[in-house]
Copies of this chain bind each other. A is one copy, B any other.
Amino acid sequence: MDQSVVIVGGGFGGVGCAHVLAHHGVEVTLLDKNDYHQFQPLLYQLATAQIGLPDLARPLRGIFAKSDSVRVVTGEVTAIDPTAHTVELADGTGFSGDALVLAAGAQPNFFGVPGAAEHAFPLYSVEDAERVRSRLLGALDAVDSEPELVDRGGLTIVIVGAGPTGVETAGAFAETIRDIVPGAYENLPVEKARIVLVDHSDVVLGAFSERAQHYAAERLEADGVELRLGVGVSEVANGHVVLSDGSTITTRTVIWAGGEKACDLVGRSGLPTGRGGRVDVEADLGVAGFPGVYVVGDAANVPGPDGDTLPQLGSVALQSGRWAAQNILAVAAGEPSKPFDYHDKGIMAMIGRNAAVAELGTKRHEIDGPFAYAAWLGVHASLLEGTRQKLSALMTWGWDYASKRRPRALADRPDASVIDWDDD
């Protein structure tokens, strides 16, 4: 059939959609501001130097090298017309298609907390993660040279948000400081390092079962992570954060795992938005009043089976992207589109070496400990694009597990590694 589809965004949603359409010979234009696909679930491992950039990023052109009908264009989409099905890039180039799929992802939501956008490090892109890694290594270097900087927050890492990203990041930081510091740094007062996990809720991993929450909290505390639950963050400054109970934590590294919202492009699109600035989509992932427009992944409020909204997860993005493609094909063939049917594969969070929580399948079978860790590795490796990346990532993990080394501990983002030791 002579269909053409424009897809905005090369994450799980956009790539999943393009794969299905390409399989049916539909002409696809896939737009992304980067020339690569990012594997977001493991960003915290890039941030803590457990894996390297090539394990997490893959060229979009490489993914679709054998798909003749997919055209990859690198450029930032600045405007969308959901009625005309046109999009425009920053350089003025325009694209249009019979259908338009918006898979533009999200951005950090700082909820208006003063100073957060300036001073906190988000963890949503590979660039974010490389900046966190450079900051961590820069701080360790600086305190090793001048140990009294520990009293100015040099070894204090504050993580805001105790969802899966925050918990995984806290666990990985604890492990990293424990593993890479001995031997590598001579003067570092490692016993003074603090990792503080802050959340306004009273529990970690709010979406998980009580048992998983308890297990995760115990493991984190056993790893030396300080839990500050039931308090929010009122302010982030250069040198400290202020909590909602009035207390202050002196720190030079604040990681923002406190939530996401749709990116600005979505807000400017004229599409109806709801919670988190995301587009409210119909059951079939289309948008009421805009025929031929589909929104998938983190850019959409995707309806779940019980009338609720599905969480912002890679598996939701991937499945919704593929589903939108199927509906585009159905409509073009004169058939009705179908409501999205999410196959819930469960939720997981890795806390550290040999420790993870997982609730698998629709029955929410709970596992934790080493088996959950193994499941976590397997599931994430299987999601990686390309055999080469799977092998490399598994080899990296296996090697790290055995050797406790961090061959990727490189501070290559000077804007983040050089610390301003003044206080606001």
Chain B residues, Cβ within 8 Å of A73? 141, 144-145
Please determine whether B137 and A35 come into contact, CB atoms closer than 8 angstroms. yes
Does any Cβ of B come within 8 Å of A409's Cβ? yes
Does any Cβ of B come within 8 Å of A53's Cβ? yes
- Given A184-B62, A184-B72, are A407 and B389 neighbors across the interface (CB < 8 Å)? yes
Please determine whether B410 and A388 come into contact, CB atoms closer than 8 angstroms. no
In the bound complex, CA of A73 to CA of B182 (Å): 15
Does any Cβ of B come within 8 Å of A412's Cβ? yes
Please determine whether A62 and B141 come into contact, CB atoms closer than 8 angstroms. no
Contact string against B for A residues 179-191, beta-carbon threshold 8 Å, 1 for contact and 0 otherwise:
0101111100000
In the bound complex, CA of A284 to CA of B53 (Å): 43
Chain B residues, Cβ within 8 Å of A388? 399, 403, 405, 407
Please determine whether A405 and B137 come into contact, CB atoms closer than 8 angstroms. no
Contact string against B for A residues 134-172, beta-carbon threshold 8 Å, 1 for contact and 0 otherwise:
000100010011000000000000000000000000000
Contact string against B for A residues 389-418, beta-carbon threshold 8 Å, 1 for contact and 0 otherwise:
101100100010001011111111000000
A294 to chain B, nearest CB (A): 24
Contact string against B for A residues 206-238, beta-carbon threshold 8 Å, 1 for contact and 0 otherwise:
000000000000000000000000000000000
- Given A71-B186, A145-B93, are A406 and B53 neighbors across the interface (CB < 8 Å)? no
In the bound complex, CA of A71 to CA of B73 (Å): 47
Please determine whether A62 and B409 come into contact, CB atoms closer than 8 angstroms. yes
Does any Cβ of B come within 8 Å of A4's Cβ? no
- Given A59-B407, A145-B93, are A412 and B184 neighbors across the interface (CB < 8 Å)? no
Give the secondary structure class of A's interface.
Answer: mixed
A96 to chain B, nearest CB (A): 15
Chain B residues, Cβ within 8 Å of A405? 62, 65, 388
In the bound complex, CA of A121 to CA of B83 (Å): 45
In the bound complex, CA of A168 to CA of B284 (Å): 53
Please determine whether B386 and A407 come into contact, CB atoms closer than 8 angstroms. yes
Contact string against B for A residues 328-343, beta-carbon threshold 8 Å, 1 for contact and 0 otherwise:
0000000000000000
Please determine whether B59 and A406 come into contact, CB atoms closer than 8 angstroms. yes
Copies, count: 2
Please determine whether A184 and B65 come into contact, CB atoms closer than 8 angstroms. yes
Task: Tally A residues with Cβ within 8 Å of B.
Answer: 49
Q: In the complex, which of the residues A61, A66, A399 has the most CB atoms of chain B within 10 Å of its own CB atom? A: A61
Nearest-neighbor residue (CB-CB) of A29 within chain B = B186
Nearest-neighbor residue (CB-CB) of A140 within chain B = B61
Chain B residues, Cβ within 8 Å of A34? 410-412
In the bound complex, CA of A35 to CA of B144 (Å): 13
Does any Cβ of B come within 8 Å of A242's Cβ? no
In chain A, positions 43-68 with a C-beta closer than 8 Å to chain B are 52-54, 57-59, 61-62, 64-66, 68
A126 to chain B, nearest CB (A): 8
In the bound complex, CA of A73 to CA of B36 (Å): 34
Chain B residues, Cβ within 8 Å of A58? 407
In the bound complex, CA of A410 to CA of B180 (Å): 28
**30 residue pairs A–B, Cβ–Cβ below 8 Å:** A34-B410, A34-B412, A36-B410, A52-B53, A53-B410, A54-B54, A54-B407, A57-B410, A57-B412, A58-B407, A59-B184, A59-B409, A59-B410, A61-B184, A61-B409, A62-B180, A62-B406, A62-B407, A64-B184, A65-B183, A65-B405, A66-B183, A74-B141, A74-B411, A126-B412, A127-B412, A386-B407, A389-B407, A391-B395, A392-B392
The 6 closest A-B pairs by CB, nearest first: A52-B54, A61-B184, A65-B183, A59-B409, A74-B141, A65-B184
* Additional A-B contact list (16), CB under 8 Å, known A52-B53, A57-B412, A388-B403: A53-B53, A54-B410, A59-B184, A59-B410, A61-B184, A62-B405, A62-B407, A65-B182, A71-B186, A73-B141, A73-B145, A74-B141, A75-B145, A93-B145, A388-B399, A392-B395
